[in-house]
Amino acid sequence: MEAINLNKLRDEAYQNAVEHGWHDEDLSTEHFLCLVISELMEAVQAERKGKRSDVAKFNEWQGNNIPFSEETRVRRFQEDFEAYIKDSVEDELSDVCIRMLDLAGLLGVSFLGVKFPLEIKEETYKDKSQNTFTEWCYNLTRFIASYNVCHITTLQFFVDILQEVFIMSKIKGFDLLWHIEQKMKYNRTRPRMHGNNKF
């Protein structure tokens, strides 16, 4: 897998959040980490319901070569995303990463020099495959909730969490980067402070 430019993804995630009003209020790091945990819980619910993305069907509909106006093209993308990608396990894990990248942007965390994803031994995948997906989410939640800037460098904390999600994506057999990029694209089309959420 080619190296991923985390700084580029960070900037995209943070800028979109700013433009959509999610940083209008000055909120704590713990607040945003709790929202990351909420995405993990949504991933658990998606797993329980067996909701997985249908990338092939999404690409089939998006591959239609009929010329559309820009407005229609955006609407079609939204409809196809909502029909085949949204609220799936893949989508929720993408949200985990996007929220972490957004928080990195807010805190000014730089990934310069980080070769990501890190090289992982096959034994690591085998070990993590022994747990259920729900157990994995629980363990990652515990790690996130234990955050203490005095005990771990901020950069390492962000890299560790992102790496964990990329490991799980390999275990689950899907392209996490593709899903992150599609979700960011979808988020750009949404209204300000969408979903009737206050934060």
56-114 pLDDT, tens digit per residue, is 999 999 987 777 788 889 999 999 999 999 999 999 999 999 999 999 999 999 999 99
Count of CA atoms in the C-beta half-sphere (13 A) of 194: 11
Domain that holds residue 101: 6-51+90-177
Q: Whats the size of the chain, residue-wise?
A: 199
Does 188 reside within a domain?
no
Chain-centroid distance of CA 5 in Å reads 15
Query: Is there a domain that residue 156 lies in?
Result: yes
| Domain membership flag for residue 79 | no
Q: How many helical (H) and strand (E) elements, i.e. helices and strands, does the chain have?
A: 9, 0
- Establish if 131 belongs to a structural domain: yes
Count of structural domains, the chain: 1
Q: pLDDT tens digits for 117-159?
A: 888 888 888 999 999 999 999 999 999 999 987 777 899 999 9
Can you read off the two tokens belonging to residue 67?
């010329």
CA separation (Å) from 127 to 68, 90, 123?
48, 21, 6
Rounded to the nearest 5 percent, the helix, strand and coil shares of the chain are 65, 0, 35
Domain assignment present for residue 58? The answer is no
Q: 66: left (phi > 0), else alpha (psi -120 to 50), else beta?
A: beta
Residue 148 lies in a domain: yes
What pLDDT does residue 194 have? 65
Residue 61 lies in a domain: no
> What's the pLDDT tens digit per position in 79-93?
999 999 999 999 999
Rounded Cα distance between 25 and 27, Å, is 6
pTM of the model as a whole: 0.93
Q: Is residue 130 part of a domain?
A: yes
